[in-house]
Amino acid sequence: MDCFWHGTPHETQALNILKCGICPRKEAGRHWFAPVPGRVYLSQDPAYAAIYTIGGDIAAIDELPPKWLEKHGRYGYLFCVDRESITNRDVQPDEDFVGNMLYDLKHHAERTQDFQWLYDLARNNIAPNRLRKAEDGEAIYHASVGKQLLSLMRPWQKQALISAGASVAVKGMVYPSAVWKFDKTLTPRLARDYSNFFELAEQVL
């Protein structure tokens, strides 16, 4: 299935998506992690999106934390968005992925050759203190540095990151082509890598 993926732990939100599509945030948030307004975030990895479906990275946990189901409800949803449906849309890499790439380039030298341009772009435009914190893995800087770098990138550079597996941010509404409903009480039965997610989930669209 050639999809991008989107997960939500909120059943009420999921039912609204089933009726109307995935709606982007309209206003900018004030914190550094705030998503870019007007864009919907999608992952190329269903396992990563499944983390959002259950509300956290707790697959294979012995038992759900107290009040876990009270927080968002018993059921989470995973949405498949057909890749072709956003091919000609305004799509850019997820800023968190861009920032995290700086960490990868510093700690995995074998990737530097393919993305030397990203390292050079960051070194020439990001304040040294902020760049160092992003390279050291401080997640709060991944999003803010990523947003700054995206504003400087050419289209081919954005596409290179998407081709490398980046999660993406699509401008405007997005409509799923398939949907899975997941009972969070089954979370302890999930494989740690989420490889059996679709065996445990129920396809509802």
Residue 28 reports pLDDT greater than 90: no
CA pseudo-torsion sign 14, 171, 198, 56: negative
pLDDT, tens digit, for every residue of 46-85? 999 999 999 999 999 999 998 999 989 999 999 999 999 9
Residue 110 reports pLDDT greater than 80: no
Which pLDDT band holds residue 31 (cuts at 50, 70, 90)? low
pLDDT of residue 139: 87
pLDDT of residue 145: 96
Mean of all residue pLDDT scores within the chain: 93
Question: What whole-number distance in Å separates Cα of residue 115 and Cα of residue 33?
Answer: 24
Nearest residue to 146 via CA among 171, 167, 177: 167
Q: Is the pTM of this model over 0.75?
A: yes
Q: Is 165 left (phi over 0), alpha (psi -120 to 50) or beta?
A: left
Q: Is residue 148 helix, strand or coil?
A: helix
CB-based contacts of 109, cutoff 8 Å, min separation 6:
none
pLDDT of residue 22: 97
Nearest residue to 91 via CA among 138, 130, 40, 49: 40
Which helix (H) or strand (E) is 92 found in, with range? Answer: strand 91-93
DSSP state of 188: G
Quickly list H helices, 61-115. Answer: 68-72, 95-107
Question: What whole-number distance in Å separates Cα of residue 97 and Cα of residue 198?
Answer: 25
Are residues 187 and 58 in contact, defined by beta-carbon separation less than 8 angstroms?
Answer: yes
5-14, 102-111, 120-129, 172-181: least confident range: 102-111
Provide the edge-to-edge strand list for the sheet that holds 39-42: 39-42, 168-171, 91-93
pLDDT, tens digit, for every residue of 161-201? 999 999 999 999 999 999 999 999 999 999 999 999 999 99
Residue 147 reports pLDDT greater than 80: yes
Are residues 99 and 157 in contact, defined by beta-carbon separation less than 8 angstroms?
Answer: no
Question: What whole-number distance in Å separates Cα of residue 205 and Cα of residue 191?
Answer: 24
Q: How far is CA 23 from the centre of its chain?
A: 15
